[in-house]
Structure formats: structure tokens, C-alpha cells
Structure 1
């Protein structure tokens, strides 16, 4: 269940007649606990309560009680030996009138009337297996409103199916934006009469909802008629009570979808919510999912956490402004200069979604401005910060409308907070018709026309605020001396998952500038457009991105173009999880990268430690791999640049599965079909090497083929391979049908000793998995291999030095290592080794292998679990690192940062010398 579904179920429970005996089970059911779990609790099989209540192990201990005994019952639950013994995370007591609960792990408490406990449902989300975050606990209203709006949206589409079609989707979404404004306006005194919107609909609509659409349409029409035009507008008396709103929100068509009785009831329920509690930081992200059928299953999970957004905005400009505020103290002149500076700052999000970044940036700037005004004795002063300074581009029209609405709500809430309700209301209506959010494709629009260079006026007609065609024109704007900051979280999409249209988007930007752009992630388009924008006006940009743009081959392709524009990295936050809600999505691994042509002498590198705390280092330069060092771009090399032996791929089967066997199939082939054992070999890929899984393959060399003649089992296998390959559209694969006994790509004879390196492995291990395999093993294309190589090569691969190099210059899948021979092994900087060095490293590799052997049959996965790694194996690796690092610098490196800085310094010298 998602949070919206849980909130609805909990609300239904609170509204139903209280049943003391049934409540504990209904409460668990509302949080999506399985029916089998609840059945066992009912029977008493798993109920561990010692107080006559219900205790689910590792979860919750709850009890119902007589009237007036809730506090005593909660205390008894807390003191209960069973609560401690069975590790209950929550305790809960209720008598049907009062509700009290406590999170024994997090410390949160709930004490309220029984009917109000759904407002605190976020506290209990762990019962549903959702690892909650602070915001979701504090956004009960936003989730409740999203759920109610979603139910109305779905119900309206049932009765108005044509409104769900592509050609009318904008009308439906625009209608929902109008509703949200009306609900907010009637609860915040923007409408002078409480419940004006909901109450008018309830009074004027038929009980079956048959004329509700007509009533709402007249209300919408009224809000588009200026006061001076009211007399001639022929408005019904009841509609004339609504103020003139305009701003484009109510201009154009006032057509409204038809309402059923159920839809009208949903509308009334939504109006009954307290819309003063809306949080535009979060609500916009949640509500945008209502209009997307594919996203409705995860309603309530669509928000971007404020702390994550501040990881972008703080170093981008807020830290500097807050430092200036502190430095100004109570100096009136300095405070005035800072206020004037803030009034000219433009924040531009070219992938703004529902406006999270813009809303938070606006609210943060208003906070600083309010403090300036307080210190200057002008606390009730009107803001100098215009909403039009917060520009955005969003491809989905509903999200663009919600972004504008969220900013309008944020402005009103800030005015109430800093100036008071009276002043906020006096200046709120009518809405400004200027347009500052563009609906369109950011990779095809001209950013300079949307956010013009400072000192440039764009003399173009302004469209209505909420009526935005894709080729929207922009407002006049002049911002002499102002600062421009680009920020946001553009979409990331790997090259193989991009649509034809998205490929074309990137082609428009990169074609003619580089030949390798087709391998770039979709987000790369925003980086280069930001860099190009910065060539025309001083700009600092900071974008959240998949970490792939700072790894592997994308680095050379993308960052060489960015550097050509004069932009460099000003600050960066290395890889971390950008998560919404853990049960739905563990979170994509991202980086934050800021680029600018306004370069300072120091740059800032941010990292999240294991405890979650963020640390910052000031460095002289940040390279595209997000480490301190020169702007070096590691390029693939066909041969090792140093003394290590060449590494090859394993063998590519390309045989439709007919030459690959399970262990039982292999034994059956040998025992029942008289296949010579020498033709059945161990087949080793990443999982076979790491986890000890066993597979076999048919391996026949050309000179051995005559020995297979007449074996029906092999003949059938070879025939199946030939048939499979002959159906291919690729000429090379078709040609392989002539040699069906062989793998598609063969890189070994089968008689070599092999140093194996899995292509994909976990980042959680302290060392890369590698090892020595005897002759007879056949390597899969999921592994790399050094064939008949000196053992000291394994010492290099097993080192912490190589771990940090591969983790930096090669692509990562989320955070997992994706090894590359040409990009990782061939480029790995190795000092010139003496014969003594090679002997020492060989001995270190032997010690690692012997330590593993001592724990046979433990697998690599078993041995390299960081929590369970045997002491003797770890000691062998420590000796290996000590020996190797002394070869590099005469001592152990202090940390991975020092290792990387040394390796990049060596790589720079190596490649400079080679070129």
C-alpha cells in the first residue's frame, strides 16, 4: 500500500463505529499487514501480549481499554516485559474517544481525540514496511488532500471519459488546478466568506449532482470578470460573491466536467479539509501524480525532500547570502545593499516539475529578506522579491500549472508569515498575469529567451499565467546587475532506454560537436545547455544528476565540451541516494555538480559520511570524476600504459543457450549420452566466480571436432546453434552458423591458467573480487581475464589502490562496480617495478590465495562480506596494500582521497609523456 491508500484506510477506520475487540486487527489491516498475519494474531498463535491486547513481534503492542484509562494503559504497555522481550517498535492505547501512542525507537508520541488519529498516520508508516522520513510524517494534510483529489479525478473520468483523452487532458488538468486554488482561497480568507466555494456548490447543486458542473462553471466565470464589468456580465447573485481573480487561472473556457452524486460527495469532502495546512514544497510533487495514470500507484511518494534540495541551493547561493547577512550585522547600509541584491537574483529551473526547487528557493530568500527587514525596523515592508524571478521550464502542462500555483501559494503564505494576514490579503488579488513558468521541451527551447541575459529586455507579448502553449512568449524583463542561478533535477535516462524523440533532443544539442553523443545519459543535455547559457551571461548552475555522467566514457564525451565553453566545476556533492520513500524506491544514486564561468580560487567538495552527516573540503580544483585534481579526462586505452599484462574479455557464447549447461545436464550428457568429459568444461561468469554457482559449457576446439562426429547429443546441440544463428539479422552472426560447435567469440584455448575479474561486483566489498583459476575453465563474457599472466598482476587488482581507481573512472551501475579493461585496467597507473617488487607482490598474491584456501569451501561472497571477512584474509590484504603502496610513495596512503590524487597525478604524467 502507498501512503495515500494507507491514509484513506485509516480515515475510514476512524470514521467507522468503534469496536474495541476488532480495532487492533483493523488498525494493522489499514497499514497493509497480510491477512495471514492477522489471522494468526486472532487465533493467538503469534499474539505475544501479556496484557490482553495484541502484540505482533518486532512491530506493535496495542490494547483497547475502558473510558478514561488510556494513559494508564499506555504506561502499562511501555512497562510490559513482553513489549521489551518481543521488540515492539510501537505501543498504542485507545478507548474509542482518546488515542495515545508512542514510537519506542524514534521517540515520537501521539495524543489526540480518537477521530483525529489519522492526522498522525505518518508516525506509523513503518508498520507498512515504509522506511519513513521526517517530511512524510509532517505532511499528513498533503497526503490526505492528494488522496481525495485523486479519488475525485478518477471518478470524474468515469463519467467524462472524453476528458481523459489526450486532446482534453489539458482541460482536465486546468480544471483541477482551479479547484485547488478555490479550496485554498476559501480556507485562507482570500475569499471573504468562509467555505464560500464549497458552501455555494452544496447550496446551489442538485442532490444528484446533475447541475454541479453548471454551478462551478458560473463560479469560474465570475472570477474572470473584473469589478468594473460585473454589471454587464449577467452573473447570478450567488456567483457575484466571488472576487475577480484573473491571472489567466480562470480565463478562457469555463467548461466543467459533469458530476455524479459520488463525485459531488468527493468534492464536498475535499472542501472540508483544512487547506491552510497545504505545504507547497511537497504538495506539488504529490499532486502531479494524480494526472499520470502510471504514477497513481505510488501516490504520496512523489516529493523531493527539502534537505536534498538544500544540498543544491545552499552551496549554489544561499550559503553566500546567509554569510553576507551575518557579516552585515545591524549595519543598515549593508543590509539595504543585501536586500537590493536579493531582489535581483533569478533562479531558473529548466526541468522544474511541480516547482519544488523554485518554491524552496523563494521561501528561503523571503526568510533572509524578512530578517533584513526586521533588523532595519521595517518588518511589515512589502517584499521586493518578484515571483517572476523564479523561472522554470516543464514539459507536462499540469505540472507547470501546479508549479505556478505552488509559487502563488508560497508567496501568500510568506506574506502572512512576515507581514500579517491583513496585508497579505490586501495585495493578493487579482493575480498577476505575467508568465514565468514555460510549458515545453527544455532541450528544444531557447533558454536565453526564457531567462534573458542581465541587462537585456525581451519585448514580447506576455501570455496569460495559466494558459501556456508550447511556443509561449515571455514577459518583458530587465535585471541589470542581477545574478542568475540555474538549478534542478532533470530527468536521467541511459542511452539504451531513451525514446526516438529523446535521442533527437540530444542530437539537436550534441550533433556536430562530438561523434560519441549517442552513449550519453539524457541529463547530459541539460548540462551542456547550462554551459552554453553561461557563455552569454555570468551564471552558476547546479544540477542533480545520475552519477554516470561523472564515470566511464561519458566523462570524456561530455566534459570536454563543457570545458570548451569556459565552464568548470565550482562545487560538487559526490554519490548519494536521492530517495523518495524507501519501500517504493531505494533511491537512485546521484551526484550534484555545479558549473560556472565565474571561477573562484577555491572549490568545494561535499560528501555524505556513513552517519549521514555531510562534510565539505575546500580544494583548488574539482575534476569531472569529482575529486580534487586537474581537469584530466581518462581515455580508453587498447593496451596497458604501464607494465601490467594485457587483460581480455571472456568468451561470448552467442549460441541461444544450446552450448551452456546446468551441472545436472552436464553429468547427464557425460553419463547417458557418452559425451567425452573433456568437451564439458566449467563455465565461469561473475556469479559463478563470486557466489560459487556452477555451470558448464560445451567446449570443442577446431582440431577436436572430428572426435564429436557421430555423437547424437552433440549433433543436436550443434544443429540448434546453427539454426539459431542463421535466423539473425546480423551478417556476422549468420556466418557463425557455419561453426556451431564454437562460441561466437573465443578468446582462449581452454588450457591457460587464468586471473579472473568479474565484470560486475558489489561496492560493499573493501576489495575487488579477483582470483586464480586453473587451466580447463572457460571464461564467460561476464568476466575479464588475464591468461597465463604473472601472479603479481593479481596483487594490483586486489589492492585498495585499484579499487578506488575502478570506482572512479569506470561506470557504476547504481553504486556497483562495472569493470572495464580498456578504461580501468589499461589506464591504471603503475610505477616502474623492479624484479624485487614483482617477487614481493607475487608473494602477497599467494598469501591472499592461501588465506582463502584455509576457509574452503567459503565463496568470494562469503569471504569478502565486510562484516564477516576472516582476520587472516584481511591481514593478507593489508600486507598486499602495505607492500604496493610503499612502492608508490614509500609509505601507506592516509586515505582514498590521497590514493586518487596520486593516481591522477601519475596518469597525467604518463599520458603527457605518451602524447
Structure 2
């Protein structure tokens, strides 16, 4: 479940008649607990999972202890829940007591409490979101109205589509979206006194539209017509008296058609319900990112997940330009001249988000700049001075029409709220209406539009060739934009669509082709977000700009690094700040979010670059650096390339054996049992075989493995002989010459890389990114490894300790990249390039013991599989010995590298890249770039 679905379920529970027996279970169900979980809680005896030690109490371990009590005993019951030994023993997060009249609850982690009338507890649903695994969004607890508004608007939207199917057709969808934008504005305006009378819009609909909704569309149409008509023209226009009370708004929002979809009785009810919410509390920072999904058919199923937290947005905006402005403010002190210059600078800054969605980045940037400006005015004794920061300096491109409308609306609301905050409501209202006709959000494909036209480096007279310039007015093919900020800075920012190459549509691939095809022929493996980085770099060659985008970390890993980043660097841009990998979470239950990085680029980067990272205690640390390379590591601009032999003194790694047998040399456990080979035949010809899946999931698989000297004996066995002939026929019919050639030795795999008698270290070629360690293993003699894994044959066991380390995992993740979302291992790119210091015999002995300890810890939990033991949700709880063995391994290995534990993965990578650069330069394989920085050789 996501936050919108949870809010709806909690609201329905609060509105329903109170049932004391059913309440605890209905409450848990509202927060996403499945029917089977509820059934186990309700059951009695040994099967019950209810751990409460209070009569009538319900305790879900690691979650909540709640109890329904007699009327008037809520406070005493909450105390009893707090003092319950079971509450402590089972690590409860929340306690809750209710008698159906009032409700009290406490979050035991931070001591926060809720006390309210029972029907109002739905207003506090955000307080309990941790019950659904949503723990990252404190703002939602303080702005529950945003979630409510999203859910209610979605219900209204869907009901209107049901009544007006033609409005969902492509030719009418923009009109429908425009209608929804008008509604949102009216709901906000009536609750913030913009309409001069609180609740005027909703009250008018209630009074003037029939209860059966037969004329609701006519009432709304007349209201919209009034808001589009200047006061002096209303008499001639025949505006109805009850609509004439509304001010003139227009500004494009109410121009054009005032046609309204027809309402059902249910849709009218939803409309009034939305209107009765407290829209004064709407937060444009986060509202837009959720509401944009209402009008997007593809995203509607994930309604409520489209949330971008303010702290995450500030991770982009602060180092991009806000930190500098705040430093200038602090440095100015009370110097009036310096403060004036800073205020003038603020008025000329342009913020440009070429993938603006519903405007989150633009809204936050605007509000933060207004905060700085207000402080300047206060220090200069001019607190009543109107803002000189124009909304038209906050420009965006968005491909979805409704999201573009919401972005402009969110900025308009943000401007009004800032004016109320800094100038007072009366002054803010006098400035607000009528809305201006200016348009600063373009609806279109950012990778096809000319950014210099939309956000030009010069002042006036810039002609723009594009459609849909006037989002809230009539479409125009050509227009002229004027800026009041010639000579100002431009900061490009945002969170563009990521989309790896596998998931790109033909149109999106063509977008990238238009940008990259003339620069490189290897662009097809680039993520879609790479297009924004390249266009930002091109833009920066023509104007005073810097850019920073949120991106999947894959553009700074593996094969994309040598494709994309040399092109960026060739434009004169460098990475001036970056935030290494962190989770960009949303509002879905138990959703870890996508792993992202933030990369800032500039062609006038200063001497000091800032690298932000999360340490092992989940604290943000900042490192100053002279250079940040494309792998987001403090150090030289090095590119890691494949090596045919290991750079360090370690065993050689190869791919496993390639069958190319049509399945005839492979056997499942059931096939092996059904054939009933004699013990002698099994011993001579049948081996255990493992690829990535078999090793990780513990699946049993076998193969026929025949040495050259045993071929004649093998053909004497009818089943084996039949299978070998089938292999020969399959290979002879292949279109590949090499496969046909291998038909000569059909008793063997087509590519044999081991004798079959070796002890083997196996490394899966693909492994889930969620694991903290690569699932390397040690196989007994006789085990065969397929080409779906890598292997070290007869290696010293300390090699396994290297591969099992956190150090090796972060190296693989960075230089090898991923297959979809999984780590993709490579012997030539990952193992052969892995920097290892010279090891003493004692070092090797210590690491051998570490590898043995890891294997013994796994053995302790037999028959648990690698997948079980390395599941991040279960490792610490169910398999602590495995975690402890890895911790010891990391402790010993990292002390070999630097004499202590590394603080985080960023520090690990810095050391590894430093060693890699040194190792490749010593071998004489490094190449110098124009800036004298090393490029790793083969």
C-alpha cells in the first residue's frame, strides 16, 4: 500500500460505526497487514501471533500494542500498555488505546503522542505510517491534508471519467486536465481569502447545484466564466448574480473554453468533500509531485508514491547555488551596500528544470531564495519591500500536460504563501489577482527542445519556435520572451527520467540518438538521463550556467563511464560536486526506493570540489577535493578498462564451462533419480553442476562429465550414448561454426575450462544489489561450474576472503556496473583490475582463517541457502554468525589496506582508485589526458 491508499482506508474506518472487537484488526488492516497476518493474530493457542499480556490486548511484535477499553479508561489503558513487559520484550514501536470516543497513542521511539476524539484519528494517520514500513517522510505527518487531497481528487477524477468517457480521449484530455487545475486553484483560493470569503466556492456549489447533480456542470461553468471576465464587462456578459461575487482571475487559467464535464451524484459528493478540506495547509513543495499522478493513466496505479522530499531536493540545490547565497548573506553582515548587491543578484538568477514534473525543484528554489531576500530586507530595514524575484525566472520543461499545469499552479501558490509570510495577507491578496499571463513552464520533450531558446543567456528579443507556449491561454507557434535579468546566472537542476537502455521506447532511443549519434556510436547503452547531462553541458558552453541532476548511479558505473563522461569533459565541464549513492525513497509501504546519485557539473568549477556521502552510521559527511572523477571518487580522472591478467598477485579467474548441448548433458535431480545409474557409473560420469542460480538458490543440478580416456566406456551405457548422439546432432545443426566444430567431441562441453578434479571458488555472474556482500562460495572437488558463473580453480583460500569483502563489492558495483538492477560481475573488468596490496604470509593466513569462518558460519545454518542467509531483511536477525564472520573479514582486510576500518564506501573507493592509478602507471599502461590525468590501460 502507499500513503494515499492508507489514508483512505483509515478515513473509512474512522467514519464507520465503532466496533470494539473488530477495531484492532481493522486498524492493522488499514495499514497494509494481509488477511493471513490478521487471521494469525486473531487465532488462539500456539498458532496465534498475538503476544499481548493484557486481557483483550493485541500485540504485533516489532510493531504495535493496542487495546480497546471501557469508556473513560483510555489514559489508564495507555499507561498499562506502556508498562507492559510484552511491549518491551517484543520491541513495539507504537501503543494505542481507545474507547470509541477518544483515542490516545504514543510513538515509543521518539515519545511523540496523539490524543484526539475517535472520529478525528484519521487526521493523524501520518503519525502511524511506520506501521506500514513508511519511515522516511516526517513531513507527511505534519501535512496529512496533501495526502487526503490527492486521494479525494483521484476519486473525483475517476468518477468524472466514468460519467464522461469522451473526456479521456486524447483530443479532450488536456481540456480535462485544465479543468482539474481550475478546481485546485479554486479550492486553494477559497480557503486563503483570495476569494474574500472563506469557503465561497464550495458553498456556492452546495447552494446552487441540485442534490442530484443534474446542473453541477452548469454552475461550475458559470463560475469559471465569471473568473474569466473583468468586472467592468460582466454586465454585458450576463454573469449571474451568484457568480458575480467571484473576483476576476484569468491570467490564462480561466480563458478559453469553460466547458465542464457532467457530474453524477457521487461525483458531486466527492467535489464537496474535496472542497471541505483545509486547503490553507496545502504544501506546494510536495502536493504537486503526488497530484500529478491523478491525470496520468500509467502512474495512477502508483498514486501517492510520487513524492520528492524537501531534504533530498536540497541535496541538489544547496551545493548548486543556495549555499553560496547563504555564505554571501553571512559575509555581508549589516553592510547595506553588500546586501543590496546580493539582492540584485538574487533578482537575476534563473532556475531551469528541464524535467520539472509538477515543479518541486522550482518551488523549493523559489521559497529558499525568498527566505534569503526577506532576511536581506530585514537587515536593511525594508521588511515591507515587495519581492524583486520574478516567477518567470523559474523555468521548466515537462512532457506531460497536467504536470506542467500543476507546476505553474504550485509556483503561483508558493508565491502567494511567501507574500503572506513576509508581507501579510492583505498585501499578498492585493498583489495576487488577476493572475499574470506570463508563462514560464513549457510542455514538450526536453531532449528535442532548444534550451537556449527557452532560457536564453541574453536579455530581450529572443524568439521561441514551439507549440503550447501559453499553457493557460491560446496555443501560439511563435512568441517573444523578455527577461529582466540580463547578465544573471542560470542553474539547471532536476530529477529527469532515468530509464536504462532496456526500458527505453523507440522514441526515447531516438531522442538519445539525436544528441549522441554525431559524438559516439556507443550511445545505445546509455541511460535516458544521460541526455539531460549532455544537453546541460552543451548549454553551459554558451552561457554562465551550472547544472546538477539526480540520476541513477549507473551513469557513474561500468560501461557508461567511458561513453558519457569523456563527452561531458570535452565541453570543458568538470564535476564540481556530487552526492554518492543513497536511497531516493517514496511513499510506498516497505519500498526502499531507487538508489541514486547527484552530480553537479560546471565549466567554471572552483579549486575545491565537494563530495557528499553517507557513512556506515548513516550520517552525511562532506569531503573537499581537488577533483572528482566520473566514478564519483575523489581523485584523478581515471577510466578502468579490462585487463587480461590480474594486476595484483592473485589467482586467475575464468568463466565457467559452456555446455552448448541442447540440455542433453544436463540433468535435474528427478531425471537423475529416474535413470537409476549404478553407483559406479554415477561416480565416474555424473557431477554436481552449478551456475549463479544453483549456487545462490541451492538448486540441485547435475551433468554428464566425461574425460577423454573414458569416452569408450561412456558410449557403452545406452542412456549416456543416446544423449551424446543428441548433443552431436544439435551442434551439427547450429548456425555457428564454432558450435559445429565442437560436434567432434560431443562427449564434452563445447568450452571446457576445468578438469573437474579441482577445488573451486565460484562467483555468480549476476547478484542482487540488495546484498551487502557478493555471494562467493567454495566448492568441493568434482563440482562443475557453468558459464553462468566465474571460477578460481585450486586457488589459495584467501582469494575467497578478498571477493567476500565489502571492498570488493563496492569495486565491482562501480567499475562493472549492473545488469538491470543486479550487480554484474566481470573477471577482466572487476577481478583482474582489483587493487590488492602486497600480502605477507601472515596476511594470507589471517585472510584464509576469515574465509574458513565465513564457510563455517554458513554451515551452521544448513540447509539455509545463500539467498536466505544474505537476504538483507533476514541476515542480522536470523543468521548473525554469517554477518559476524563478514565483519571480521572486513576488519582484517581493511586494516591491511589502511591500518583501520574505512568510514564508508566512498573512502573505500578513494583508496582503491588511488592504488589502481598507481598500479597501472607502474606497469606503463596508463595514458595521459590533456589535463595530465591517468586513463587506465589494458
- C-alpha displacement of 1:614: 0.8
Q: Give the SS at the match of 1:594.
A: strand
Distance 1:389 1:723, change over 3 A: farther
- C-alpha displacement of 1:30: 3.0
- 8 Å contact kept, 1:438–1:472: no
- C-alpha displacement of 1:793: 6.2
Structure 1 residue 211 corresponds to structure 2 residue 215: yes
Alignment of 1:325-724 (within 5 A): 325-455=329-459, 457-460=461-464, 463-467=469-473, 475-581=481-587, 583-640=589-646, 646-653=652-659, 657=663, 659-671=665-677, 677-689=683-695, 693-700=699-706, 707-709=713-715, 713-714=719-720
- C-alpha displacement of 1:671: 2.6
1:345-381: CA deviation from partner (whole Å, max 9, x where unpaired) = 1111111111111111111111111111111111121
CA distance in 2, matches of 1:544, 1:200: 44
Aligned to 1:28: 28
Aligned to 1:890: none
- 8 Å contact kept, 1:121–1:140: yes
- Give the number of equivalent residue pairs: 905
Aligned to 2:914: 901
Distance 1:769 1:153, change over 3 A: closer
Structure 1: give runs of 5+ residues left out of the alignment: 887-892
Aligned to 1:110: 114
Q: Give the SS at the match of 1:552.
A: coil
- 8 Å contact kept, 1:456–1:479: no
- C-alpha displacement of 1:231: 2.8
- C-alpha displacement of 1:40: 5.7
Distance 1:364 1:683, change over 3 A: same
1:546-584: CA deviation from partner (whole Å, max 9, x where unpaired) = 111111111100011011000000001111111113625
Structure 1 residue 806 corresponds to structure 2 residue 784: no
Aligned to 1:74: 78
Q: Say which of 240, 252, 256 aligns to 2:256.
A: 252
Structure 1 residue 757 corresponds to structure 2 residue 760: no
- C-alpha displacement of 1:304: 0.7
- 8 Å contact kept, 1:436–1:474: no
Q: CA RMSD in A?
A: 3.6
- 8 Å contact kept, 1:55–1:88: no
Q: Say which of 284, 306, 320 aligns to 2:310.
A: 306
- 8 Å contact kept, 2:469–2:477: no
1:388-418: CA deviation from partner (whole Å, max 9, x where unpaired) = 1111111111111111111111111111111
1:747-783: CA deviation from partner (whole Å, max 9, x where unpaired) = 4454555443332346788875556656533222232
| Greater Cα offset, 473-482 or 794-803 | 794-803
CA distance in 1, matches of 2:456, 2:847: 61
CA distance in 2, matches of 1:676, 1:21: 62
1:585-616: CA deviation from partner (whole Å, max 9, x where unpaired) = 21111111111001201100101123332110
- 8 Å contact kept, 1:795–1:842: no
1:790-839: CA deviation from partner (whole Å, max 9, x where unpaired) = 778667656776555334322146886432122223334567x7xxx687
Distance 1:801 1:150, change over 3 A: closer
Distance 1:304 1:851, change over 3 A: closer
- 8 Å contact kept, 1:829–1:907: no
Aligned to 2:287: 283
Distance 1:414 1:874, change over 3 A: closer
- C-alpha displacement of 1:644: 5.4
- C-alpha displacement of 1:144: 0.7
- 8 Å contact kept, 2:689–2:786: yes
- C-alpha displacement of 1:845: 6.3
Alignment of 1:748-787 (within 5 A): 748=754, 750=756, 754-761=760-767, 770=776, 773=779, 776-787=782-793
CA distance in 2, matches of 1:48, 1:644: 53
CA distance in 2, matches of 1:239, 1:726: 84
Distance 1:133 1:813, change over 3 A: farther
CA distance in 2, matches of 1:170, 1:724: 57
- C-alpha displacement of 1:486: 0.9
Aligned to 1:187: 191
CA distance in 1, matches of 2:493, 2:532: 10
CA distance in 2, matches of 1:30, 1:699: 56
CA distance in 2, matches of 1:795, 1:98: 58
Distance 1:589 1:735, change over 3 A: farther
1:33-68: CA deviation from partner (whole Å, max 9, x where unpaired) = 344554565566555555544322323333444554
CA distance in 2, matches of 1:756, 1:361: 50
Q: Give the SS at the match of 2:881.
A: coil
Distance 1:725 1:92, change over 3 A: farther
Q: Say which of 43, 57, 61 aligns to 2:60.
A: 57
CA distance in 1, matches of 2:72, 2:590: 39
Q: Give the SS at the match of 1:671.
A: coil
With normalisation by structure 1, the TM-score equals 0.90
Q: Say which of 888, 912, 915 aligns to 2:926.
A: 912
CA distance in 1, matches of 2:563, 2:612: 24
- 8 Å contact kept, 1:670–1:676: no
Structure 2: give runs of 5+ residues left out of the alignment: 900-905, 928-936
- 8 Å contact kept, 2:854–2:882: no
- 8 Å contact kept, 1:53–1:62: no
Aligned to 1:199: 203
| Greater Cα offset, 50-59 or 174-183 | 50-59
Distance 1:145 1:424, change over 3 A: same
CA distance in 2, matches of 1:872, 1:92: 40
Distance 1:705 1:523, change over 3 A: farther
| Greater Cα offset, 33-42 or 296-305 | 33-42
- C-alpha displacement of 1:96: 3.6
Q: Give the SS at the match of 2:435.
A: coil
- C-alpha displacement of 1:514: 1.0
Aligned to 1:264: 268
CA distance in 1, matches of 2:633, 2:370: 34
Q: Give the SS at the match of 2:206.
A: helix
1:414-471: CA deviation from partner (whole Å, max 9, x where unpaired) = 1111111101100101111111111111111111111111446414599424258697
- 8 Å contact kept, 1:434–1:465: no
- 8 Å contact kept, 1:754–1:786: yes
Aligned to 1:292: 296
- C-alpha displacement of 1:851: 5.1
With normalisation by structure 2, the TM-score equals 0.88
Aligned to 2:242: 238
